[in-house]
Structures are given as structure tokens and as C-alpha cells.
Amino acid sequence: MTRLTVPADSLFGLANLPYGVYRVPGGTSRIATRFGDDVVDLGLLLGTEGDDAVFAEPTLNAFMAQGYDRWVSVRERIAAGLAGDIPDDAVHATGDVEMLLPFEVADYVDFYASEHHASNLGRLFRPDNPEPLMPNWKHLPVGYHGRAASVVVSGTDVVRPNGQRKGPDDPAPVFGPSTRLDIEAELGFVVGTGSAMGTSVPAGAADRHIFGVVLFNDWSARDIQAWEYVPLGPNLGKSFASTISPWVVPLLALDAARVDTPPQDPKVLPYLAMDRTWGLDIDLEVVWNGQVVSRPPYAAMYWSPAQMLAHQTVNGAPSRTGDLFASGTISGPDKDQRGAFIELTWGGAEPVTVGDETRTFLQDGDEIVLRATAPGAGGSRIGFGEAAGRIVPGPAA
């Protein structure tokens, strides 16, 4: 047996207790929490009897499906367990294990919840329009479905996509590797408790359905996207890969991070109204080849995660355990708070300096890492780990 302690300033102290799935070399997929720099096996810490059989599963889905009361009680038991003697074989250094996709993704929806991002893109793509936001933007959280199969865990290489593109002066589209490969720094929200077809999740009840939060990089091929997206929205420009962080931070760990969203004007329709329209005070970093190039503030997001879930289901669409909905690019009001390179470089016109080079979009070999922290209980800070990916060349076009 062993005892674990972590420094008071650890981003993975008792205030965090995220959930993930790990594997030791040659081993099977197992569920764990992270405590300091250790990965602690939950099947071995808590047992696998009765309801705890979910900790013998290879993904978090079965546990998430048990619902809010279990999320609360298990979190308390993990904290109690970590304060006592822990079986030696339940503990691994983070460097000794491989982290896997923590849950099976059911449906994936991407939103567009940052007013700064949506306004910047409106100015870039529709420069002649005096109003950068579309008329619907402040009335509903605009979103679209993406490819669930393409969600990969941090550390997975991202293959540069081939596709069609057509510049404004090209007589016809050409095919080849994307030349405007970009990122979108986002958060992803993981649904634990779904809702049946024909019913909806009230915005005020969403925090009993949302299990947790991950970092989310919605890799985007801007040239492919620009040519394909009218009128049915993004498809191939996004569907090649989306990277999430391996640790799902419980929404229960983010009570201290709740903040009011920016004022919503005009007033939202009743199904989107909440007693408190909460956002989350989560500070992200975008790291390009080791250098921080942007610090997007999630607190600046216009639409609340709860409103996004309420909107997704208000038409009676079913939601399921493992549904993942992402926030859309997180951009703040300042230039160094923009969460996509198309904004950061203003459509490629204003390159950024990365190390001793300049960049507009991603080159093969470039690595992007998203990181984030948020206030935790008792004055602590909690971390989200990383969502990292390196660009590798695609197959010959």
C-alpha cells in the first residue's frame, strides 16, 4: 500500500479529480483519475462490485450513464480513497502510461458561441456587410453536427487533409493538400445523462446532464471549408480530425469557475432563459511549437454550455451518454486572445512570429498544444492537461 500527497499548488489536487482511461504497455484499457503526477486506477481504488462494475469498463460511458447522484458520490469516495492507503498497483506515474480516448463519442455537435470569433469571421468573410454577425446569431446558439469518428485523443498525429479548394480567381477547383490548415481552440462538453426522443433538457437542468469538460481542438482546413460550406455548412474542412484532452474534468469540479456570461441582449427566448446564465472562467493557452501564441478566455463566451444543450434538444432530438458538444472557437476581445490562426493572422495577412520563423497557417511538423486552468475549490486552481497534435503530411494527392 502507498500514500499519495500532492503539493497545494498542483493543478490535479483534490479539487480536480478528473476521469480518464489509461493503459500500461501491453495492458488493457482501464479507468483512472489523476492525482498530482500520478494516474490512480479507479477499479483498484474503489473496487468493481455492484454499481462500481462500471470501473471495469474500457471507457467512461457506463459510469457517466449512471447519472448525477453517482457522479457526486463517486467523487466523494475518490477523495476519501486518495486520503488513505492505496494499493501499489493502482498507482502509475503519468509518464509510464498511455492515455486513451476516455469515452465513446455518440453524436458530436460544434457550436459557434464566441461573439468575438463570429464577428471576426464575419468581417473576414463578408467585409462588405456592415453587420458582422448573422441575424440569428444572438437569438440561438448556432451549431452543426460533425464527425464523431474523427475525435481523437491528445498525442494523435493529425494527417494534413487533401481536398478541393478554389480561390476567387481560380477558374476551377483544384485538388491537393490543404494550404490553410488551422486550429480552433475550444472546450468540449460531455453529456453523461441523455434525454429521450421527443423530450428536451431545460437550460436550468443542463448541469445535471453535463458530466464534464475537455479541451477540444477543432482542426480546420480553411481552403476546403471556404469552397464547400455554402449552403449546408462545414464538412470535409473539419471532419478529418478533432483532438480532445484525455482527462474529463467533472463539471462538479468547476463550481468555483462559474461566472455570468456576458449580458445577452436581446433577451433570449424562454427555453434559453436561466436563473443564472453561467459560463466558466477557464483560461486557455494555445502553444505553437512550444511558444504561447494566444490566451483565449472562456469567460468571454456569449452562450452558456447549458443553453447549448437546451437548444440541441428543444426540438425533441434525443441526446445520449457520450454526446460531445464543443463551444466553437474561443476568442476574447484582444488580438492575443484569438483561438484560431485565421483570426490571429487576419486571414493570413498578418503572420505571427513562432520561434525564429513566421507563420500564417500550419506547416508539416508543427505541433499545437492546448492547455487550460480554472479556479477550483478552496482557492486552488485546477488543470485540464493538454490537447496536443502534430501535423504530418497526407498521402499523395
Is 96 annotated in a binding site? The answer is no
How many CB atoms sit inside 10 A of residue 352's CB?
17
The reply on whether position 256 binds its own copies by CB under 8 A is: no
The reply on whether position 197 binds its own copies by CB under 8 A is: yes
Q: Which of 266, 275, 356, 396 binds its own copies (CB under 8 A)?
A: 266
- 13-38 burial string, b = 16+ CB within 10 Å, else e? bbbbbbbbbbeeeeeeebbbbbbbeb
Is 154 annotated in a binding site? The answer is no
Give CA–CA dist 189/108, Å, rounded: 10
3-state SS, residue 19: strand
Give CA–CA dist 41/319, Å, rounded: 29
Pick the stretch among 47-55, 65-73, 232-240, 356-364 that binds its own copies (CB under 8 A): 232-240
Q: Is 117 considered catalytic here?
A: yes
Amino acid at site 193: T
Is 110 annotated in a binding site? The answer is yes
Pick the stretch among 56-64, 67-75, 165-173, 352-360 that binds its own copies (CB under 8 A): 165-173
The reply on whether position 128 binds its own copies by CB under 8 A is: no
Give CA–CA dist 241/146, Å, rounded: 10
Q: Tell me whether residue 44 or residue 244 sits nearer to its own copies (CB atom).
A: 244
Pick from 152, 145, 149, 150: nearest CA to 214: 152
- According to DSSP, residue 376 is labeled -
* Closest distance to its own copies from the beta carbon of 116 (Å): 16
- Residues 6 or more apart whose CB falls under 8 angstroms from that of 364 comprise 160, 391, 392, 393
Amino acid at site 4: L
Pick the stretch among 18-26, 69-77, 94-102, 308-316 that binds its own copies (CB under 8 A): 308-316
Name the binding residues: 110, 112, 126, 184, 186, 218, 225, 229, 238, 242, 329
Q: Which residues bind its own copies (CB under 8 A)?
A: 106-107, 109, 112, 134-136, 139-140, 142-150, 152, 159, 161-164, 166, 172-173, 175, 197-200, 221, 224, 227-237, 239-241, 266, 269-271, 311-312, 314-320, 323, 394-395
